[in-house]
Amino acid sequence: MRIVKNGDVHVSAPVGLSRKKVGEFIEEHRDWILQASKRMVARQEQRTKFFNQLPMETRIQREEAIRRLKVLVEPMIEQHAKEMGVCPNAISYKPTISRWGQCNIKNRNINISIYVLLLPEWCVEHVVVHELCHLLEPSHNSRFYTLMDKYFPRWREARKETRRICRLKDGIK
């Protein structure tokens, strides 16, 4: 049994289990379901509220956000890429709500979510270094985190703070 994002409850049962048994099971867990469902709806509302802080419905709003983001992020990329000796191919900015950043190892393209504008600057820097680090090491293995220790020693703290601010499902990739 699991609670999905809109608060609905999905129950899977083995083939052959009678509807009556399934009904009984749901009835027994009624309170738990109600509580979990309420929590899920509240969390979704919180997320929506968080992302709505940066309105991006109109083209002008999006362009303005990207302009602000470039001013913030481009110097960070330049500085860290130089220090790390990496060269990303292209940087794109998309209104991604499922992750803060993403690095395509094959074409060396990096995407930064426009919503990082809702994070403190040092957390944005963490996202930038994390993605650049993938150009040196694709996986989240011990080598990756050794590189993070070297190039952004506060990464643990930044990750914690980012998660505290908004719990994203996938977080940083």
Rule CB under 5 A: which residues touch Zn ion? 173
Q: How far apart are the first and last CA of the chain?
A: 28
> Six-digit token pair at 67?
């302009």
Residue 71 CB, nearest approach to Zn ion (Å): 24
Q: Beta-carbon neighbour count of residue 98 at 10 Å?
A: 11
Q: How many CA atoms lie within 13 A of 43 on its CB side?
A: 16
Residue 119 CB, nearest approach to Zn ion (Å): 16
Closer to Zn ion by CB, 29 or 173: give it. Answer: 173
| Nearest residue to Zn ion, scored by beta-carbon proximity | 173
Q: Beta-carbon neighbour count of residue 32 at 10 Å?
A: 11
Closer to Zn ion by CB, 70 or 173: give it. Answer: 173
Residue 170 CB, nearest approach to Zn ion (Å): 10
Closer to Zn ion by CB, 93 or 100: give it. Answer: 100
